[in-house]
Amino acid sequence: MFLRTATLVPILAVLAISTFCGCRMLVGKARNQSLVNARQLSLRGTDAFQRNRDQDAELLFSQALSESPQDERAHWGYASVLWKSGDKRKALEHMNEAFRLSGRNPDYAIQLGQMHLDLGQFDSAKSLAIDVLAVNRNHNNAWALLGDVHRTQKDWPSALECYHHALLLRSDNPQVQFAVADIYRKTGRPERALATLDRMVDLHAAIVEDPEHLLLRGLTFTDLDRPKEAKELLAKCSERLEPTAWDKQLLVIEAQVRLADLVQARMAMGRIAPEHTNEPTVLRWKNRLDSDFVRLANSSTVLSKPDPNRPEEPELIPGVYLSQPGSWPRLER
C-alpha cells in the first residue's frame, strides 16, 4: 500500500504541473488574442479619427480597451479623442498610460508634454522635452515643445534658440515658423515677422487662407502702419474664426480699433459665441466700442450744427469759379 501511494504522488504532481502549465498557456493565448483584437480595433479607430469621425473613433478605441487595457495605441487614441472633446483630465490619464505601456515612446512623450503645456503644467512639459533630447538631440519636435514652453513663459530668447534648433532639423515646419514670426512681432521686429510669414507661404501656399495666419499677418501689417492691407486681412480673419475662438476675435477687434475701423470691429464683436459674451475682457471691449460709437455720434452732431459766426456760403451754380485765398469764390461770366 505504501509503495502504491509513493508511486502515485509523483504522478499526481506531474499531472498537476502539466495542468497548471496548460492553463497558463491557454490564458496566455487568450490574452494574446485579446491584444490582437484590440490592436485591430485601434487601427480602425485611428482611421476614423483621421477622417474626423470622432464618435466612431471614440467607440472603437473604447472597444479596444475593453478587449485589452494593455494596448498602448488604444490609450493613445482614446486620449486624443477625449482631448478633442474637452475631457482633458481623463485624456491626460490615458496618455500617461500610453506613454508607460509604450516604453516611453518619444512621440508619445511629445504629445503628453503638449497636453501638460496646454494645462499650464510647464515643468512637466519641459521635463518631457528634455528627457527626449537627452536620448536624441536631433528630435525636432522635442526642440519645438521646449520652445513652446519658453514662449508661453515669455522667455523670448530661449524660445527663439529652441525654435532655430527645430528649424535646422526641419526647415518646413509651419507651426515653428508661425511661433518665430509671433515672437518677432511681439518683440518689436515686424519686418522680420513679415519675412518669416512670407517664407511660410512660399513653402505651404495653402496656409495663406488659415485664420491664424491671417490674424498674425494682419497684426504685423498694423504694426508696420500699412492700414489698407491690415484692415482687409483682419476682416477676412474675423469671418473665418470659429465662434468659440473669442480670444483671437478680441485680438482682431483690438487691432481694428487701433486702425479706427470701428464698423468692422463691431461686426467682429457680433461673431463671438453667446456663451463667451460675459467674459470680462469681452465686456470691456464691448463697452469700449459702445463709448467710441457714442463719441463719434456726438462729434458728428456737433459738426452738423450750423455756426452762426460763419459767413453764409453762396449757392453754387454751374460755371467757372476763380477764387482768392481767404475769400469765397465769385462767378466770372
Domain spans of the chain, in order of start: 36-103, 117-209, 210-296
* pLDDT surpasses 80 at 79: yes
Task: Please write the tens of the pLDDT for every residue from 209-250.
Answer: 999 999 999 999 999 999 999 999 999 999 999 988 999 999
Bigger pLDDT: 232 or 33? 232
Read off the pLDDT of residues 273-313 as tens digits, 9 standing for 90 and up.
999 999 999 999 999 998 888 887 777 665 555 556 655 54
Q: What is the pTM of this model?
A: 0.77
CB atoms within 10 A of CB 227: 14
Closest C-alpha to 283, from 272, 293, 294? 272
Residue 264 has pLDDT above 90, yes or no: yes
Closest CA to 216 of 201, 229, 200, 197: 197
With CA atoms as reference, report the closest residue to 215 among 236, 194, 244: 236
At 299 the pLDDT is 73
CA distance 33 to 29: 6
Q: Which residues pair with 126 in a beta bridge?
A: none
Q: What integer best gives the mean pLDDT of the chain?
A: 86
Phi/psi-derived region of residue 204, left when phi > 0, alpha when psi is between -120 and 50, beta in every other case? beta
Question: Predicted confidence band at 3 (pLDDT cuts at 50, 70, 90)?
Answer: very low
Identify the pLDDT of residue 298: 79
For residue 76, pLDDT beyond 60:
yes
- The model's confidence at residue 322, banded by pLDDT at 50, 70 and 90, is very low
- pLDDT of res. 333: 41
User: How many angstroms separate the CA atoms of 273 and 169, rounded?
Assistant: 40
Is 60 exceeded by the pLDDT of residue 67? Answer: yes
Q: Evaluate whether 110 touches 128 at the Cβ level (below 8 Å).
A: yes
Intrachain domains 36-103 and 117-209 with the same fold:
yes
84-137 pLDDT, tens digit each? 999 999 999 999 999 999 999 999 999 999 999 999 999 999 999 999 999 999
| Measured CA angle at 180 (ends 190, 240), to 5 deg | 80
Average confidence (pLDDT) over 25-36: 65
Instruction: Give residue 106's pLDDT.
Output: 97
Out of 3.30.1360.70, 1.25.40.10, 1.20.1740.10, 2.60.290.11, the CATH code matching 117-209 is 1.25.40.10
Q: What is the structure's pLDDT at 308?
A: 60
DSSP 321: E
Domain 36-103 in CATH 1.20.140.10? The answer is no
State residue 293's pLDDT score. 83
pLDDT at 157: 97
* Cα pseudo-dihedral 106, 109, 114, 120, rounded to 10: -150
For the chain, the maximum distance between any two Cα atoms, rounded to a whole number of angstroms, is 152
Per-residue cell: 20: 497548471
pLDDT at 51: 94
Query: Per-residue pLDDT tens for 168-177?
Result: 999 889 999 9
**Is 26's pLDDT higher than 50?**
no
